């Protein structure tokens, strides 16, 4: 019973010497409009091509499945800095109204960061991620609000670019949020 060869991408998050804290602080804010997308929206136009590599990391850290609220209640007014998961109803994530059996939208766990909660909604077409939407992003650092408008799309670009047949990875001066990747990872884990 040979183990299946594995080709895939592991997503990790970890602390690295001194490089990120200042940069992270700048990416910790939120643009109010980023967090508005509802969770259960199926995407259209998915190409349905077969998975090319991001897919399941199979890390074994099966999502705790604890606080994945589908409500998409992203409070971004900057007033909620308790760091708790606002409106986390604890309801089942559910894929929502997928138009095809291959399109599934999964809501990742709400991850707490130093600056507030972050939660992603990830859409899969088969094993391929076709969209990542931020449902909740940290809202504490008002100064960084504009900066964070870039941070979430940049992170999404990296996750999506990794699936492109032409581009294996992207080099950039990116400082990214731990919470982002953990939420993404939990969505991948739930996908199985």
Interface positions with another protein (CB under 8 A): 3, 5-24, 26-27, 53, 58, 114, 146-147, 150, 153-158, 161-162, 166-181
113 phi and psi angles, rounded to 5 deg: -115, 170
CB of 70 to another protein, least distance (A): 25
27 versus 124: smaller Cβ distance to another protein: 27
**Dihedral sign, CA of 113, 22, 59, 57?**
positive
CA dihedral of 103, 167, 56, 187, whole degrees rounded to 10: -60
Neighbours of 174 (CB within 10 A): 15
98 versus 121: smaller Cβ distance to another protein: 121
Neighbours of 190 (CB within 10 A): 21
98 versus 130: smaller Cβ distance to another protein: 130
Q: Which pair of tokens denotes residue 159?
A: 């996750």
24 versus 107: smaller Cβ distance to another protein: 24
């Amino acid at each position: 019973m040979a183990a299946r060869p594995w080709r895939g991408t592991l997503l990790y998050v970890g602390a690295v010497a001194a490089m990120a804290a200042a940069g992270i602080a700048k990416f910790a804010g939120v643009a109010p409009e980023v967090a508005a997308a509802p969770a259960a929206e199926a995407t259209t136009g998915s190409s349905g091509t077969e998975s090319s590599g991001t897919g399941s990391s199979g890390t074994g850290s099966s999502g705790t499945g604890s606080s994945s609220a589908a409500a998409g209640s992203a409070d971004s007014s900057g007033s909620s800095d308790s760091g708790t998961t606002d409106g986390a109803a604890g309801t089942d994530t559910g894929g929502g109204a997928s138009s095809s059996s291959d399109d599934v939208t999964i809501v990742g766990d709400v991850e707490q960061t130093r600056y507030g909660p972050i939660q992603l909604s990830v859409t899969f077409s088969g094993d391929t991620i076709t969209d990542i939407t931020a449902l909740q992003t940290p809202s504490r650092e008002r100064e960084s609000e504009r900066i964070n408008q870039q941070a979430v799309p940049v992170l999404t670009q990296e996750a999506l670019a990794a699936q492109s047949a032409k581009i294996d990875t992207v080099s950039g001066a990116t400082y990214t949020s731990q919470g982002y990747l953990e939420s993404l990872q939990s969505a991948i884990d739930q996908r199985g």
